[in-house]
Structure formats: structure tokens, C-alpha cells
Copies of this chain bind each other. A is one copy, B any other.
Amino acid sequence: MYTIGQVSEMFGLPTSTLRYYDKQGLFPGLERASGIRRFSDTELEALRVIECLKKAGMEIKDIRLFMEWCAEGPSTYPKRKAMFEERKAHMESEIANMNRALDMLKYKCWFYEQLSQGDNEAELRAMIPDGLPEEIKKAYENAHAR
């Protein structure tokens, strides 16, 4: 059993954040001893899961839902699975978007590299897209960069 200060130390999170998470219902079974929160292994486990779910871009209210489902028992397995499937699809499309943005950046880096080396901007633009070097062409096409 740990106090909020100890958990704060262990996770490198301010106590205000832990109280905020509690208020948002992220620790459904959190006990108290005369008003003071007592974090058990269950809550430490929950916190680790919270950190993962946050990285996956989940909102607090969805994390609360998940925690409530966990507290409800095995009948909620399918719901939990569906939530993760939805998140997975979402992440996959996010990553695809980011890769497109990354291609745009690669193209921009190349473009400004040419200009920094003294190339003429009008001439450089004139060779787009047909005269582009191979390794940039792909980035250009994926990014539709300008």
C-alpha cells in the first residue's frame, strides 16, 4: 500500500495528476483510510495501463470506461476487445497519415537543401515533378508536396 506521494515518486507524475485521474474515475476501486488515498498493486497496474492507453491516443473518458469494464469482470471482455480493435484501426490510419506528412518533410528538406546550395528557386520549381531525382520522387508523389 502506497500514499499518493510515493506513487507520484514511482511514476514521475505530480500528485495533482494522480488526484485528477482519481476524480475522472480512473481508479474505480481505490480505497481510503480516513480520507487518505491508499494505492495498492491494483492501482499501480492500472497506472501502467493508463500510460499505455494514453500513448495510444485514448481520451480520459474512454480510459475510464475501460477501467469500469475491467472492474465489471469477464462479461465485458468482448467490449474491451472491440475498444482496442477500434483504437488499432485508428492508430493505423494515423500512422499512415504521419508517414505521408513525413514524405512531405523529406521533400521539403531536399528542396531547401538545393536552394541553400545556391540553386535558383524558379529553375528548381520548373523541374518539378519530372526532373526530380529518384529518391525524392517517391516522397514527392506520396506527399503531393509543393
Contact = CB atoms under 8 A, between A and B. Distances in A.
Interface in A106-129: 106, 108-109, 112-113, 115-116, 121
B116 A52 contact: no
Contacts of A60: none
Interface string A16-60: 000000000000000000000000000001001100100111000
A55 B116 contact: no
Interface residues of A, number: 39
A74 B115 contact: yes
B146 A101 contact: no
A74 B48 CA distance: 49
A105 B56 contact: yes
Number of copies of this chain that the complex holds: 2
Interface string A91-111: 110110111111011101100
A143 interface: yes
5 contacts: A55-B101, A56-B104, A80-B112, A81-B113, A98-B98
Given A81-B115, A98-B98, 4 more contacts: A49-B146, A55-B101, A80-B112, A81-B112
